[in-house]
Structure 1
Amino acid sequence: MYKFIQKARNKFIKKIDAIPFIRYQADLAYQTALEKHISQLPAISTSDFDLIEKIKHEGVVITSLEDLKIPSTPKLLQAAENLIPKILSSIAAQKNDFTIHASAQQIMEYPEIFLWGLEQRLLNIVENYLGLPVAYHGAYFRRDIANQVEQGSRLWHIDKEDRKVLKIIVYLNDISEDKGPFQYIPQSLTAKVVQSLKYTSGYIRNQTLQEVISPANYKSCTGDAGTVIFAATSSILHRGKPPVVSERFAIFFDYTSRRQKQLLYCNSSLPHSDLLLLANNLTEKQKECIFWE
């Protein structure tokens, strides 16, 4: 019932947003919010500023856990190492399944995974990219099955939850071209493809995309375990390339602004009751990022 209501809400918002006057007013409100918040953006290092500029220009930046040097990374990796065997033992419900997510209960057994996404430095990077206060939607621990199924996030799409969406992806195993890399079309080319296909939302099959752009323009994010990808998924066409040789294990950390009325799919990876338990050891700023609704 909840999914039906959410779907109806999203459909209604899209129709309203399509009205030129409403869209114009929303644009004004958005620009006003950006201007109002600019003086409140947290201070960041020169290297983090450069990282953000690269995200804005290309849409994606590839780095590593080693280079980021986030303090709680050892705890994240230990938790992931403990959780992977439990995800491996999971069995896909249907032959067409292509991914298995860790359950909320499993994430709560290893809260270090969720909490890594609330590291203050990461939140500062995200806030400076968004230009607005951060809404943290949580951590999604994924096992992507090695098969030829092309559905959902394996199809090309642009995230429409907010005007700006940032995802931080951490690879937990070595990912080569045939092991399910995150793929994207650079921002400059994405704009041309969107115009050619008259794309507004939803999924695009690879065959359809190739009618307007050569696969030579696809960018695959490959790398060893510990590779980290910052992806501005609201401004680039992207997908998870189906893994063929072996399964992919990765964690996705999702962020948008807190402008709830403008958001689609307002949700968290954990239920509210679990967030309350985790909040006991969080700072006030971190709490604001998870209790933003």
Structure 2
Amino acid sequence: MYKILQKARNKLTKKIDTIPFIRYYAELAYQTELEKHISNLPIISISDLDLVNKIKHEGVVITSLENLKISSNSKLFQAAENLIPKISPSISARKNDFTIHASSQQIMEYPEIFLWGLEERLLNIVENYLGLSVAYHGAYFRRDIANQVEQGSRLWHIDKEDRKVLKIIVYLNDITEDKGPFQYIPQALTAKLVQSLKYTSGYIRDQTFQGVVSPANYRSCTGVAGTVIFAATSSIFHRGKPPVVADRFAIFFDYTSRRQKQLFYCNSSLPYNDLLLIAKNLSKEQKDCIFWQNS
């Protein structure tokens, strides 16, 4: 029942948001919030500031766990390697299924995965990109099956949960062009396509998409296990290219601002009771990122 009500709320809010004067005043409020928060932005290193600026201007930055040098990298990767064999390759009987997610029970068995997304340095990078306080929506550990299904996130789309959405993607196996890379359209071209397509939300099939943009403009994020992708998924057309020769294993860490009334799909990857357990030894700042809806 809750999900039905949430979908109805999202649909109504989206319709309201298209009304010109509503959009105008919403933009004014948003810009005011950004200006107020500037003095509260955490100070970050020059290299991290450069990373943030690249995300802002290019929409995607590809790096690696090795380059990031975050203290809990080894714990993350070891936990992921232990969990991979437990993610069954069997999909449900529904013919259009293409991905298997680790259950909340499995994530709680390996909390290092969820906790990596709360590393202070990462949160500071995210906050400097968003320009506002961070809401952490959790870690989504997924196995994308090598099949020909083109549904959901395998279709071209732009994330509309917030004005700015940032996802950090960690590849857990080597990803080549035929192993399901994250694909995107450069930010500048995306802006033009949004205008020409009059795009507001939803999914676009690749066959349809190729009618308006050449595949030569597709950018595939390939890389070895440990590759890390910072993706501003609210400002780029993107999709997960269907893997052909092998399944893709990856973790998606999702972030938005805490602007509750303007957000769609405000769920966490873990149930509330699990969040309480996993947050016991966290700092106040980290807890605020998890329990942002209560603040």
TM class by shorter-chain length?
over 0.9
Task: Figure out how many residues of one structure are paired with residues of the other and give that number.
Answer: 293
> Structure 1 57/135 Cα, relative in aligned 2: closer, same or farther at 3 Å?
same
Distance (whole Å) between structure 2 residues aligned to residue 28 and residue 64 of structure 1: 37
Which residue is 1:78 aligned to? 78
Which residue is 1:219 aligned to? 219
Distance (whole Å) between structure 2 residues aligned to residue 3 and residue 209 of structure 1: 30
Corresponding position: 1:25 with 2:25 = yes
- The answer (yes or no) to whether the contact 2:155–2:205 under 8 Å persists in 1 is yes
Distance (whole Å) between structure 2 residues aligned to residue 163 and residue 29 of structure 1: 12
Which residue is 2:196 aligned to? 196
Which residue is 2:47 aligned to? 47
- The answer (yes or no) to whether the contact 2:88–2:100 under 8 Å persists in 1 is no
Distance (whole Å) between structure 2 residues aligned to residue 116 and residue 160 of structure 1: 25
Distance (whole Å) between structure 1 residues aligned to residue 42 and residue 83 of structure 2: 34
Letter in 2 for 1:30: Y
| Deviations, residues 250-286 of structure 1 (Å, cap 9, x unaligned) | 0000000000000000110001111100111100000
Q: How does 1:240-279 map to 2 (within 5 A)?
A: 240-279=240-279
Which residue is 1:92 aligned to? 92
Which residue is 1:160 aligned to? 160
| Deviations, residues 127-152 of structure 1 (Å, cap 9, x unaligned) | 00000000000000000000000000
Corresponding position: 1:281 with 2:254 = no
In the alignment, structure 1 segments of 5+ residues that lack a partner are none
Distance (whole Å) between structure 2 residues aligned to residue 14 and residue 274 of structure 1: 31
Distance (whole Å) between structure 1 residues aligned to residue 142 and residue 173 of structure 2: 12
Which residue is 1:177 aligned to? 177
Please report the RMSD computed on the Cα atoms of aligned residues, expressed in angstroms: 0.8
Deviation at 1:90, TM superposition (A): 4.8
Letter in 2 for 1:69: K
Deviation at 1:24, TM superposition (A): 1.1
Distance (whole Å) between structure 2 residues aligned to residue 62 and residue 161 of structure 1: 23
> Structure 1 71/90 Cα, relative in aligned 2: closer, same or farther at 3 Å?
farther
Distance (whole Å) between structure 1 residues aligned to residue 291 and residue 169 of structure 2: 22
Distance (whole Å) between structure 2 residues aligned to residue 11 and residue 287 of structure 1: 30
In the alignment, structure 2 segments of 5+ residues that lack a partner are none
Distance (whole Å) between structure 2 residues aligned to residue 196 and residue 89 of structure 1: 40
Deviation at 1:93, TM superposition (A): 3.9
Which residue is 1:130 aligned to? 130
Letter in 2 for 1:14: K
SS at structure 1 position matched to 2:95: coil
SS at structure 2 position matched to 1:204: coil
- The answer (yes or no) to whether the contact 1:184–1:220 under 8 Å persists in 2 is yes
- The answer (yes or no) to whether the contact 1:181–1:240 under 8 Å persists in 2 is yes
SS at structure 1 position matched to 2:256: strand
Corresponding position: 1:290 with 2:290 = yes
Distance (whole Å) between structure 1 residues aligned to residue 59 and residue 93 of structure 2: 35
Query: After the TM superposition, which of the residue ranges 193-202 and 129-138 deviates more from structure 2?
Result: 193-202
Query: After the TM superposition, which of the residue ranges 147-156 and 74-83 deviates more from structure 2?
Result: 74-83
Which residue is 1:5 aligned to? 5
| Deviations, residues 192-227 of structure 1 (Å, cap 9, x unaligned) | 111121111000010111111100000000000000
- The answer (yes or no) to whether the contact 1:92–1:100 under 8 Å persists in 2 is no
Letter in 2 for 1:71: S
Deviation at 1:94, TM superposition (A): 2.6
- The answer (yes or no) to whether the contact 1:168–1:253 under 8 Å persists in 2 is yes
Distance (whole Å) between structure 2 residues aligned to residue 51 and residue 145 of structure 1: 31
Distance (whole Å) between structure 1 residues aligned to residue 71 and residue 28 of structure 2: 39
Deviation at 1:88, TM superposition (A): 3.2
- The answer (yes or no) to whether the contact 2:145–2:247 under 8 Å persists in 1 is yes
TM-score, normalising length from structure 1?
0.99
- The answer (yes or no) to whether the contact 2:144–2:249 under 8 Å persists in 1 is yes
- The answer (yes or no) to whether the contact 2:89–2:145 under 8 Å persists in 1 is no
Letter in 2 for 1:190: T
Deviation at 1:92, TM superposition (A): 3.4
Which residue is 2:56 aligned to? 56
Which residue is 2:233 aligned to? 233
